[in-house]
Structure 1
Amino acid sequence: MSDIGAHAQTLTNRGSLDALMLRVGGARVVMLGAASHGTHDHHHWRAEITRRLVAEHGFSFVAVEGDWPDCDRVDASVRGNGQDPRAVLGAFERWPTWMWANEEVLDFCEWLRWWNGEHRVGFHGLDVYSLWESLRAIVDHLGRHDPTAVPAALAALRTPEGYAGRVVPDACEPEVVSLLAYLRRHAVEHAAERGRTEFAAWQNADIVPGAERYYRTLLAGERSWELRETHMADTLDRLLDHYGPGSRAVVWAHNSHVGDSLATDADLVSLGRLARRRHGADAVVLVGFGSHRGEVLAAPSWGAVAQVMTVPPARAGSVEDLLHRAAPERALFVFPQVDQPRWLTDVHDHRRIGVICDPGAPDYVAGRLGEWYDAFCWFNHTTPVHTLTRELERHPSGV
Structure 2
Amino acid sequence: MDDPADVRALARPLQSDSHLDPLVERAGDARLVLIGEASHGTHEYYAWRDRLTRRLVTEKGFGFVAVEGDWPDCRRLHRAVTGGPEDVDEALGGYDRWPTWMWANSAVRAAMNWLREHNAELPPQRRVGFHGLDVYSLQRSMREVVRWLREHDPDHASAALDAYACFEPYGPDPLAYARATRWVPENCEDAVIEVLRDMCERHGSDGSSPGEADQRFVAEQNAAVVAGAERYYRAAVRGGPDSWNVRDVHMADTLDRLLDHHGPGSKGVVWAHNTHIGDARATDMAAAGMTSLGQLAHERHADDGVVLVGFAGHRGDVVAASSWGAPAERLPVPPARDGSAEDLLHRALGDEPSLLVFPETYDQPRWLRTSFDHRAIGVVYHPDQERWGNYVPSTLGDRYDALLWFGETTALEPLRAEPADDPEPQTAPTGQ
Q: Is the shorter-chain TM-score for this pair beyond 0.5, marking a shared fold?
A: yes
| Alignment pair present for 1:154 and 2:177 | no
| Alignment pair present for 1:294 and 2:322 | no
Select which of 104, 109, 116 maps to 1:106. 109
Contact 1:348/1:368 (CA < 8 Å) preserved in 2? yes
Deviations 1:318-339 (A, max 9, x none): 1111111111520110001131
| Alignment pair present for 1:364 and 2:384 | no
Which amino acid letter does the alignment assign opposite residue 303 of structure 1? Answer: G
User: Which residue does the alignment assign to 2:238?
Assistant: 220
Cα separation, 1, equivalents of 2:379 and 2:316: 16
| Alignment pair present for 1:285 and 2:288 | no
Cα separation, 1, equivalents of 2:218 and 2:265: 21
Cα separation, 1, equivalents of 2:151 and 2:56: 36
Which amino acid letter does the alignment assign opposite residue 186 of structure 1? Answer: R
Secondary structure of 1:360 counterpart: helix
Range with greater deviation from structure 2 (151-160 or 327-336): 151-160
Aligned positions of 1:269-280 closer than 5 A:
269-280=291-302
Q: Percent identity?
A: 51
Select which of 68, 73, 87 maps to 1:65. 68
Deviation at 1:166?
A: 4.3
Which amino acid letter does the alignment assign opposite residue 204 of structure 1? Answer: N
Deviations 1:357-381 (A, max 9, x none): 0101131111211111000000110
Which amino acid letter does the alignment assign opposite residue 297 of structure 1? Answer: V
Contact 2:64/2:129 (CA < 8 Å) preserved in 1? yes
Secondary structure of 2:406 counterpart: strand
Q: Structure 2 vs 1, CA of residues 283 and 387 (structure 1 numbering), >3 Å: closer, same or farther?
A: same
Contact 2:370/2:395 (CA < 8 Å) preserved in 1? yes
Contact 1:305/1:394 (CA < 8 Å) preserved in 2? no
Deviation at 1:162?
A: 5.3
User: Which residue does the alignment assign to 1:140?
Assistant: 147
Which amino acid letter does the alignment assign opposite residue 176 of structure 1? Answer: V
Deviations 1:46-104 (A, max 9, x none): 00000000000010100000011111111111111131011101220111100011111
User: Which residue does the alignment assign to 2:412?
Assistant: 385
| Alignment pair present for 1:316 and 2:325 | no
Contact 1:263/1:372 (CA < 8 Å) preserved in 2? yes
Q: Structure 2 length as normaliser, TM-score? A: 0.89
Cα separation, 2, equivalents of 1:58 and 1:91: 29
Cα separation, 2, equivalents of 1:3 and 1:234: 38
Which amino acid letter does the alignment assign opposite residue 13 of structure 2? Answer: T
| Alignment pair present for 1:177 and 2:190 | no
Cα separation, 2, equivalents of 1:205 and 1:282: 28
Aligned positions of 1:109-124 closer than 5 A:
109-117=112-120, 118=122, 119-124=126-131
Contact 2:98/2:418 (CA < 8 Å) preserved in 1? no
Cα separation, 2, equivalents of 1:273 and 1:57: 23
Deviation at 1:394?
A: 4.1
Aligned positions of 1:1-399 closer than 5 A:
1=3, 2-117=5-120, 118=122, 119-158=126-165, 159-160=168-169, 161=171, 163=173, 164-167=175-178, 170=186, 172-190=188-206, 192-193=209-210, 194-223=212-241, 224-267=243-286, 268-280=290-302, 283-327=305-349, 329-337=352-360, 338-362=362-386, 363-389=390-416, 391-396=417-422, 397-399=425-427
Contact 2:66/2:270 (CA < 8 Å) preserved in 1? yes
Q: Structure 2 vs 1, CA of residues 8 and 171 (structure 1 numbering), >3 Å: closer, same or farther?
A: closer
Cα separation, 2, equivalents of 1:358 and 1:233: 30
Alignment size in residue pairs: 398
Contact 1:303/1:395 (CA < 8 Å) preserved in 2? no
Cα separation, 1, equivalents of 2:141 and 2:357: 39
Deviation at 1:174?
A: 4.0
Cα separation, 2, equivalents of 1:216 and 1:5: 47
Which amino acid letter does the alignment assign opposite residue 373 of structure 2? Answer: D
Cα separation, 2, equivalents of 1:393 and 1:81: 26
Deviation at 1:148?
A: 2.4
Secondary structure of 1:157 counterpart: helix
Secondary structure of 2:413 counterpart: coil
Cα separation, 2, equivalents of 1:153 and 1:343: 54
Q: RMSD over aligned Cα, in angstroms?
A: 1.6
Which amino acid letter does the alignment assign opposite residue 44 of structure 1? Answer: A
Secondary structure of 1:95 counterpart: coil
Which amino acid letter does the alignment assign opposite residue 370 of structure 2? Answer: D
Q: Structure 1 length as normaliser, TM-score? A: 0.96
